[in-house]
């Protein structure tokens, strides 16, 4: 795991365009790993991605921000045309 974090979230699963299997995140650290993954589509000045990463990093310190981080993660994934399997 890239960043150790016991901060749990409501499970969210995504599927990268080039993959047939889902990647599931159950913690803020797992969302952070997915955002930093080489498989995440990179766009110059991607404000949604930057916001999601920033929210995830801030919520490593503050459990109350985990819900906001999850919402930002889902928004960034959808903005990057990543399939999201979640009731948001």
Span 5-14, pLDDT tens digits: 579 999 999 9
65 lies in which domain range?
A: 8-85
Q: Quick check: is 3 in a domain?
A: no
7: tokens are 């901060």
44: tokens are 């110059």
| Cβ contact 19:25 at 8 Å | no
Q: In the chain, how many domains are there?
A: 1
Residue 18's pLDDT is what?
A: 78
Q: State pLDDT tens for residues 69-84.
A: 999 999 999 999 999 9
Q: Quick check: is 2 in a domain?
A: no
Instruction: Quickly state the pLDDT bin for 20 (edges 50, 70, 90).
Output: confident
Q: Quick check: is 44 in a domain?
A: yes
Q: Quick check: is 1 in a domain?
A: no
CA dist 62 and 75 (Å) reads 20
Q: State pLDDT tens for residues 23-65.
A: 999 999 999 999 999 999 988 889 999 999 999 999 987 888 9
Q: Give the containing element (helix H, strand E) for 72.
A: helix 66-79
């Amino acid at each position: 795991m890239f960043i150790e974090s016991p901060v749990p979230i409501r499970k969210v699963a995504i599927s990268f365009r080039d993959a047939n299997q889902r990647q599931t995140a159950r913690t803020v650290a797992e969302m952070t790993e997915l955002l930093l993954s080489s498989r995440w589509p990179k766009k110059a000045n991607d404000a949604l991605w930057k916001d999601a990463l920033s929210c995830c990093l801030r919520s490593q310190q503050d459990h109350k921000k985990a819900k906001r981080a999850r919402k930002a993660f889902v928004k960034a994934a959808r903005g990057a045309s990543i399939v999201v399997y979640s009731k948001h």
